[in-house]
Structure 1
Amino acid sequence: MNGICALCHKSEKLIDSHFMPKAVYRTISKGFPEYGENIVWISGHEKSAAYTSKQAKKHLLCANCEAAFSKNGEDKVLPFMAKPNGFKLATKIKKFKKLSGVKDEVWYFPSSDDCALGFLYFAVSIAWRLSSTDWSNYGMPETKNSIRDESMLSFSKFLLGETKLPSNTFLAVYVDNQKVDIPSMGFPTVKNHTGYQHIVFNIPGLKFSLLAGNDPGAGILETFSPNKTNVYFVSRSLKTHPDYNFVADFLKTKAVAKGRLAKEFSAKNV
């Protein structure tokens, strides 16, 4: 269909763009035979869980911008996520330069500027997609304009190649150091703070924690000050992360199973 590209604002033929990369869906549904194609969609907004084959996508970008998202972000990141035949980043991170270790976390510098920028571009592109349009038809709360204007302007310039880095933006990529036996993908959530916003999402084996805003606090600025790309990699167990426990508790106590999933639960309880 023809329309205005949400990123470059040119009148072009628009691509049916996926919110989260199609390759992630494929990895979860096809790459782990023990789970088959039984992807469970968990909606915190609707407090539900159900099997689904639906993928979140919209006519959002022109072919050039969609190609840039693939070339500069997805192609640099997705080969390193957890897959049945291995988890490349979990192995590669051990060769990165170490910054520090805190409790069960070890923080590392990226291996190169190109590595850092690829992961930053990918994270920013996902955050930008969240706020550029409304995805509520896919079980999420209204997402359009959920990220503040100054950050979205900075994100857009970076994604278009007009700036080397998005201003006032910091990324930590958490890399699971345990076996990834339950592949998962989490759509971005936005937590609002006075001087910044915290945007979090995950793909198999990786959790992206993006901070954006004019005043992220002295602690964040001090932590990222030795790093010119504002990107760190963090090795830790994702199953011990508070966000994982929150999701597990949600599934146990609040989520209502629907459709075939509900029938399976009922059969098990008979």
Structure 2
Amino acid sequence: MNGICALCTKDRKLRGSHFMPKAVYRSLSKGFPDHGENIVLISGGDKSAAYSDKQAKKHLLCESCESMFSKYGEDKVISLMARPGGFKLATKIRKFKELSRLNDEAWYFPPGEGLAFNFMYFAVSIAWRLSSADWTSYGLSETKNSLWLENMDSFSEFLLGGSEIPENTYLAVYVDNQTVDTPLMSFPTFKDHASYQHVVFEIPGIKFSLVAGKNPGEGVREIYSVNKTNVYFVSRNLKSHPDYQFMVNFLKHEAIAKARLAKELGITV
């Protein structure tokens, strides 16, 4: 269909753009034998959980902008996520220069600007999609225009190639250091703070924590002050992360199982 591209704002033929990359869905459905045919969609909007292979997508981008999203972000990042045959990023970061280590968590510098750029581009593209369209028909909460105008302007300029790093934007890429036996993909969620916004989402084995705003706090500025790429890679056990524990508790105690999942849980409980 023809329309106005949400990124370049030109009147062009629009592609069916996925919110989360199609390759992630494909990896989940075909790559993990024990989970692929039984993907559970957990919705915080109506507190439900059900089997679903429905993919969130809209006619949002023209072919040129869609290609940039793939070339500079998705193609590089998705190839490194956890798969049944191995987890390339988990192996790769062991060779990165270490910044600090505390208990289970180790922070690493990216090896040059190329990889940092790809991960930043990917994270920003997902955050941009969060705010650029209405995804409520897919069971998500209302997020259109959720990012502040200054963040959206900065993100759009970066995604179109007008800047190397979006201003006042910082990214931590958490990499699971355990066997990824329960693959997860989470749609991005955001939280407003006084002078910055925080966007978090996950693909198998990798958790993205993106902070954007004029004043993200002294702690963030200090830790990123020695890193001109504004990107760190963090090795840790993702199942011990508070977000994972929150999801498990939500699924156990709050989410309402629907359709086939409800029947199966009824049989097994």
TM-score strictly above 0.5: yes
- 1:73 is the counterpart of 2:92: no
Matches of 1:17 and 1:36, distance apart in 2: 22
2:97 maps to a residue whose letter is K
158-167 vs 98-107, which moves further:
98-107
1:1-48 deviation per Cα after TM superposition (whole angstroms, max 9, x unaligned): 000000000000000000000010011111011223211000011100
- 1:54 is the counterpart of 2:63: no
How far has the Cα of 1:244 moved from its partner? 0.3
1:169 maps to a residue whose letter is T
Aligned to 2:135: 135
Aligned residues: 269
Matches of 1:44 and 1:131, distance apart in 2: 18
Please, what TM-score do these two structures have when normalized by structure 1? 0.99
Matches of 2:35 and 2:155, distance apart in 1: 36
- 1:207 is the counterpart of 2:207: yes
1:182 maps to a residue whose letter is T
- 1:15 is the counterpart of 2:19: no
- 1:264 is the counterpart of 2:264: yes
Q: Write the mapping of 1:1-270 to structure 2, written as runs, cut at 5 A.
A: 1-269=1-269
Matches of 1:210 and 1:36, distance apart in 2: 28
RMSD in angstroms over aligned alpha carbons? Answer: 0.6
Give 5+ residue unaligned stretches, structure 1.
none
How far has the Cα of 1:161 moved from its partner? 0.1
1:38 maps to a residue whose letter is N
99-108 vs 241-250, which moves further:
99-108
Percent of pairs with identical residues: 67
Matches of 2:212 and 2:57, distance apart in 1: 25
1:63-111 deviation per Cα after TM superposition (whole angstroms, max 9, x unaligned): 0000000000001100100001100000000000000012321000001
Please, what TM-score do these two structures have when normalized by structure 2? 0.99
How far has the Cα of 1:189 moved from its partner? 0.3
Give 5+ residue unaligned stretches, structure 2.
none
Matches of 1:235 and 1:255, distance apart in 2: 30
Detail structure 1 runs of 4+ shifted over 2 Å in the superposition. Answer: none
2:115 match: secondary structure: helix
Matches of 2:161 and 2:175, distance apart in 1: 27
1:127 match: secondary structure: helix
1:33 maps to a residue whose letter is P
Matches of 1:231 and 1:98, distance apart in 2: 13
2:83 match: secondary structure: coil
1:221 match: secondary structure: helix
1:103-145 deviation per Cα after TM superposition (whole angstroms, max 9, x unaligned): 3210000012000000000000000000001101111111101
How far has the Cα of 1:243 moved from its partner? 0.3
